[in-house]
Amino acid sequence: MSDSTADDGGIDSRLPEAWQVWSRGEDGRLVLAYRPDVFDAADFPAPCLPTLYLTHGKRTRRPGVHPGDTADTADWFVTLYLEPDVSLNETLRYPTRDAALEETVALARRFDDGEIDYRGLYQVPREAYFERLDDLTGDGCED
Protein backbone atom coordinates (compact mmCIF):
# COMPACT_ATOMS: atom_id res chain seq x y z
CA MET A 1 0.00 0.00 0.00
CA SER A 2 1.34 3.43 -0.91
CA ASP A 3 1.89 6.26 1.56
CA SER A 4 -1.15 8.05 0.15
CA THR A 5 -3.52 5.34 1.37
CA ALA A 6 -1.70 4.45 4.56
CA ASP A 7 -3.22 7.48 6.30
CA ASP A 8 -6.79 8.59 5.66
CA GLY A 9 -6.46 11.15 8.40
CA GLY A 10 -9.07 9.16 10.31
CA ILE A 11 -11.68 10.08 7.71
CA ASP A 12 -14.21 7.51 8.91
CA SER A 13 -14.48 9.19 12.30
CA ARG A 14 -14.44 12.73 10.84
CA LEU A 15 -17.30 12.28 8.39
CA PRO A 16 -20.91 13.09 9.24
CA GLU A 17 -22.77 9.89 10.11
CA ALA A 18 -24.74 10.01 6.83
CA TRP A 19 -21.55 9.63 4.74
CA GLN A 20 -19.49 6.47 4.56
CA VAL A 21 -16.37 5.42 2.73
CA TRP A 22 -17.63 3.30 -0.14
CA SER A 23 -14.23 2.34 -1.52
CA ARG A 24 -10.52 2.99 -1.06
CA GLY A 25 -8.12 2.72 -3.96
CA GLU A 26 -4.54 1.60 -3.55
CA ASP A 27 -3.47 4.85 -5.20
CA GLY A 28 -5.17 6.96 -2.51
CA ARG A 29 -8.52 7.45 -4.20
CA LEU A 30 -11.61 7.49 -2.05
CA VAL A 31 -15.28 7.22 -2.92
CA LEU A 32 -17.78 8.31 -0.30
CA ALA A 33 -21.50 7.54 -0.46
CA TYR A 34 -24.31 9.52 1.14
CA ARG A 35 -26.98 7.48 2.88
CA PRO A 36 -26.61 4.27 0.86
CA ASP A 37 -29.21 2.83 3.21
CA VAL A 38 -31.96 4.92 1.56
CA PHE A 39 -30.67 5.21 -2.01
CA ASP A 40 -31.70 1.60 -2.59
CA ALA A 41 -34.23 2.04 -5.43
CA ALA A 42 -37.15 1.57 -3.02
CA ASP A 43 -37.06 4.96 -1.27
CA PHE A 44 -34.72 6.88 -3.58
CA PRO A 45 -33.42 5.97 -7.03
CA ALA A 46 -30.08 4.19 -6.66
CA PRO A 47 -28.48 6.17 -9.56
CA CYS A 48 -29.13 9.36 -7.55
CA LEU A 49 -26.83 8.25 -4.71
CA PRO A 50 -24.75 11.35 -3.89
CA THR A 51 -21.07 10.48 -4.04
CA LEU A 52 -17.85 12.28 -3.28
CA TYR A 53 -14.73 11.34 -5.19
CA LEU A 54 -11.19 12.08 -4.05
CA THR A 55 -8.99 11.33 -7.06
CA HIS A 56 -5.37 11.71 -8.03
CA GLY A 57 -5.78 13.44 -11.34
CA LYS A 58 -8.98 14.94 -12.67
CA ARG A 59 -11.88 12.58 -13.25
CA THR A 60 -12.59 12.45 -16.96
CA ARG A 61 -15.54 10.07 -16.78
CA ARG A 62 -18.68 9.75 -14.73
CA PRO A 63 -19.32 7.48 -11.73
CA GLY A 64 -19.63 3.81 -12.50
CA VAL A 65 -16.85 3.93 -15.09
CA HIS A 66 -13.17 3.48 -14.25
CA PRO A 67 -11.72 7.00 -14.30
CA GLY A 68 -8.80 7.85 -16.51
CA ASP A 69 -6.23 10.26 -15.24
CA THR A 70 -5.24 13.32 -17.22
CA ALA A 71 -1.86 14.98 -17.36
CA ASP A 72 -2.74 16.68 -14.05
CA THR A 73 -1.78 13.62 -12.02
CA ALA A 74 0.29 15.61 -9.53
CA ASP A 75 -2.88 17.26 -8.21
CA TRP A 76 -5.79 15.85 -6.23
CA PHE A 77 -9.42 16.60 -7.07
CA VAL A 78 -12.61 16.47 -5.03
CA THR A 79 -15.86 16.01 -6.96
CA LEU A 80 -19.42 15.81 -5.67
CA TYR A 81 -21.87 13.92 -7.90
CA LEU A 82 -25.60 13.92 -7.25
CA GLU A 83 -26.10 11.41 -10.02
CA PRO A 84 -23.96 10.38 -13.01
CA ASP A 85 -24.67 13.49 -15.10
CA VAL A 86 -25.12 16.01 -12.27
CA SER A 87 -22.15 17.32 -10.32
CA LEU A 88 -21.08 20.34 -8.34
CA ASN A 89 -19.70 22.72 -10.93
CA GLU A 90 -16.63 23.72 -8.99
CA THR A 91 -13.07 22.70 -9.67
CA LEU A 92 -11.77 21.58 -6.31
CA ARG A 93 -8.10 20.98 -7.04
CA TYR A 94 -5.37 20.61 -4.42
CA PRO A 95 -1.61 20.11 -4.60
CA THR A 96 -1.59 17.44 -1.86
CA ARG A 97 -3.80 14.57 -0.84
CA ASP A 98 -4.00 15.89 2.73
CA ALA A 99 -5.44 19.19 1.51
CA ALA A 100 -7.92 17.37 -0.75
CA LEU A 101 -8.89 15.06 2.11
CA GLU A 102 -9.68 18.09 4.29
CA GLU A 103 -11.92 19.48 1.54
CA THR A 104 -13.61 16.10 1.12
CA VAL A 105 -14.58 16.09 4.80
CA ALA A 106 -15.66 19.75 4.68
CA LEU A 107 -17.77 19.21 1.56
CA ALA A 108 -19.41 16.13 3.11
CA ARG A 109 -20.32 18.24 6.14
CA ARG A 110 -21.67 21.11 4.01
CA PHE A 111 -23.83 18.69 2.03
CA ASP A 112 -25.11 16.96 5.15
CA ASP A 113 -25.90 20.33 6.75
CA GLY A 114 -27.94 21.38 3.70
CA GLU A 115 -25.48 24.07 2.60
CA ILE A 116 -25.12 22.78 -0.98
CA ASP A 117 -27.73 24.14 -3.43
CA TYR A 118 -28.31 20.93 -5.35
CA ARG A 119 -31.45 22.33 -6.99
CA GLY A 120 -29.31 24.77 -8.93
CA LEU A 121 -27.27 21.95 -10.42
CA TYR A 122 -30.22 20.34 -12.21
CA GLN A 123 -31.43 21.56 -15.61
CA VAL A 124 -34.79 19.84 -15.15
CA PRO A 125 -36.34 20.37 -11.70
CA ARG A 126 -37.24 17.25 -9.73
CA GLU A 127 -39.32 18.82 -6.97
CA ALA A 128 -40.61 15.64 -5.31
CA TYR A 129 -37.07 14.25 -5.18
CA PHE A 130 -35.70 17.55 -3.84
CA GLU A 131 -38.27 17.61 -1.04
CA ARG A 132 -37.30 14.10 0.02
CA LEU A 133 -33.58 14.94 -0.18
CA ASP A 134 -34.23 18.06 1.93
CA ASP A 135 -35.62 15.75 4.61
CA LEU A 136 -32.32 13.82 4.67
CA THR A 137 -30.01 16.83 4.66
CA GLY A 138 -30.10 19.71 7.09
CA ASP A 139 -31.71 22.01 4.52
CA GLY A 140 -34.81 23.52 6.08
CA CYS A 141 -35.74 25.24 2.79
CA GLU A 142 -38.18 27.58 4.48
CA ASP A 143 -38.22 30.16 1.68
* pLDDT for the residue numbered 60: 56
- What pLDDT, on a 0 to 100 scale, did the predictor assign at position 122? 87
Measured in whole angstroms, how far is the alpha carbon of residue 62 from the centre of its chain?
A: 12
Please list the alpha-helical segments (H only) found in the chain.
3-6, 11-14, 97-112, 127-136
Winning range, highest mean pLDDT, from 4-18, 114-128, 129-143: 114-128
Instruction: Grade residue 139 by pLDDT with cuts at 50, 70 and 90.
Output: low
Q: Which of 122, 139, 128 is nearest to 45 (CA)?
A: 128
pLDDT at site 11: 92
Q: Measuring CA to CA, which residue among 59, 135, 125 is closest to residue 91? A: 59
According to the model, what pLDDT value does residue 69 have? Answer: 42
Residue 63 is given by DSSP the state T
The bridge status of strand 86-87 relative to strand 30-34 is unpaired
> Is residue 33 classed exposed, middle or buried when 0-12, 13-18 and 19+ CB atoms within 10 A define those classes?
middle
Nearby residues of 5 by Cβ (< 8 Å), 6 or more positions away? 24, 25, 26, 27, 28
N- to C-terminal Cα separation, the chain: 49
Give the model confidence (pLDDT) of 13-71 as tens digits. Answer: 999 999 999 999 988 999 999 999 988 887 788 889 999 999 987 655 555 544 444 44
Percent of the chain with pLDDT over 70: 80
- pTM for the complete prediction? 0.78
Whole-number Cα distances in Å, 24 to 38, 67, 75, 133: 22, 14, 18, 26
**Predicted local confidence at residue 77, as pLDDT:** 95
Over pLDDT 90: what percentage of the chain?
Answer: 49
